[in-house]
Structure formats: C-alpha cells, structure tokens
C-alpha cells in the first residue's frame, strides 16, 4: 500500500478523541499514522496514553511565550521535525493565528462539539439545551482562519432529550465524536475527501455518507 500520511494530534487535556484516532490508526489498512501527540499543557491526561502506545509526545507550554505566534513557531518546528503532513486538533484549547492556519491550509482538521455552522465557540451543549433544539451533534472540519468554520468533512447528529443535562448531552455527543473523527481522518488522509470551494466532496464515492445519526 502507499505510504501512510504522517499525522500529529494537538491536545490540551483528556484526549479521548486523540485516543480514538490512535486506536483507529492501528488497523493495517488505515491510511494515516500518528507520529506525534503534542500538548500545550504538561499535565494533559492524554499524554500518558500516547506515551504508553509508543507514540512520540511533546509539550510546548504557551505560557512560556510572550505572543501567540512565538508559541506557534515552536509548535511548527516540532511538527516539521517529525515530518508531519496533517494536523488534527483534538480539544486543543488555543486560538490559532492566521500565520499558523496558513501553514496548514487544507491540512488541518478540528472536531467541534456541535452541528456547525450552529453553535460555534464554547459551551455548545449548554447553549443547545437553553435553545431547546431537538437535534445536536458534532462536526469534523478543515480549519480556516475564522474559528469553528471551514469545510465540513463529517458530522454526527444525536437527539436532545427532555431529561438531558449538559453532561448527559456531552456524553452522547462524545460517543459520536469518537466515530466521526477516525472516519474523517481516514477519508482526508487517503485523499478520498477533498476540498472543493467551501465544501468537501468525496471524489471516488460521491454519495458515500459522511454523517452518522444516533443510534448508528
């Protein structure tokens, strides 16, 4: 098979989405390999899991830098040193500069816990409950200079129940995040999913669904 795409995952904490990507990438025919897990926080729980799996890890503490771009230039050097071709943001809690986003245009994915373009930003589950929406979910998208925007690769929808708390809804969404992120990374890494204008199309299989509806 052709060489696997070299992927770095950027985290800031728990790292459950990172784990789902690492686990999926263990399959022989998965088109991506995780070569680096990088955190801006030394105490990020996900780092131990990555180390345990024999994956290279790095910590770049943003607090050690006077401005965002100085921090990102060190991140960039680590990514280049590891021969990274594609970046996956997975709960990476730093706003990125236009400079960094430009370095990875069309080569950086993010997972957001809402059905974009609804509920950009933080506290998505609380806001969805407050609005009384009946469907909520998660989105994997290419990163663009505008936050929580960019071409959508995959989405998952879940029902919102009357009895939901933010935590209960978050858990239902997270379960689906762990399915769509590996799906999206696989399609992007293999070249099956490509950006076309502001959308993502799957060239080989134009009608292959990139949406999951709970319970799937």
Measured distance CA(183)–CA(25) in Å, rounded = 11
**68-96 burial: b if 16+ Cβ within 10 Å, else e:** eeebbbebbebbeebebbbbbbbbbebeb
Is 112 among the catalytic positions?
yes
Q: Which of 62, 112, 141, 178 is catalytic?
A: 112
112 binds ligand GRF (CB under 6 A): yes
Name the pairing type of β-strands 135-142 and 193-196.
unpaired
Of all residues in this chain, which one has the CB nearest to ligand GRF in the complex? 91
Candidate residues 8, 9, 10, 15; the one interacting with ligand GRF per rule CB under 6 A? 15
Interface stretch with ligand GRF, choices 56-64, 111-119, 147-155, 203-211 (CB under 6 A):
111-119
Q: Give the interface segment with ligand GRF, choosing from 30-38, 109-117, 161-169, 195-203 (CB under 6 A).
A: 109-117
Do residues 20 and 53 lie in contact, with contact meaning Cβ atoms separated by under 8 Å? no
Residue 113 or residue 150: which is nearer to ligand GRF going by CB? 113
Question: Is residue 13 within the footprint of ligand GRF (CB under 6 A)?
Answer: yes
Q: How far is CA 96 from CA 1, 6, 62, 69, in A?
A: 34, 21, 12, 8
* Stretch 168-187: interaction string toward ligand GRF, x if CB under 6 A: ------x--x----------
Q: Which stretch binds ligand GRF (CB under 6 A): 11-19, 94-102, 127-135, 194-202?
A: 11-19
Alpha helices, DSSP H only, in 4-142?
Answer: 16-24, 46-52, 68-81, 98-103, 124-131
148 sits near ligand GRF (criterion: CB under 6 A): no
Alpha-carbon span 191 to 134, nearest angstrom: 34
Residues forming the active site: 112
């Amino acid at each position: 098979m052709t060489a696997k795409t070299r992927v770095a995952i950027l985290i800031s904490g728990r790292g459950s989405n990172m784990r789902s990507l690492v686990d999926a990438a263990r399959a022989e025919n998965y088109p991506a390999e995780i070569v680096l897990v990088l955190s801006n926080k030394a105490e990020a729980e996900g780092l131990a899991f990555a180390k345990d799996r024999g994956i290279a890890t790095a910590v770049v503490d943003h607090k050690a830098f006077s401005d965002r771009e100085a921090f990102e230039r060190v991140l960039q050097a680590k990514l280049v040193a590891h021969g990274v071709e594609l970046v996956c943001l997975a709960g990476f809690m730093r706003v990125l500069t236009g400079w960094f986003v430009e370095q990875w245009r069309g080569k950086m994915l993010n997972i957001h816990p809402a059905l974009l373009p609804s509920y950009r930003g933080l506290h998505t589950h609380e806001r969805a409950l407050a609005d009384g929406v009946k469907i909520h979910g998660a989105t994997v998208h290419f990163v663009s200079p505008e936050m929580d925007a960019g071409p959508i690769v995959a989405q998952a929808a879940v029902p919102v129940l009357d009895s939901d708390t933010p935590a209960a809804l978050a858990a239902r969404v997270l379960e689906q995040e762990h399915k769509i992120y590996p799906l999206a990374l696989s399609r992007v890494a293999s070249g099956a999913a490509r950006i076309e204008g502001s959308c993502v199309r799957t060239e080989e299989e134009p009608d292959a669904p990139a949406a999951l509806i709970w319970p799937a």
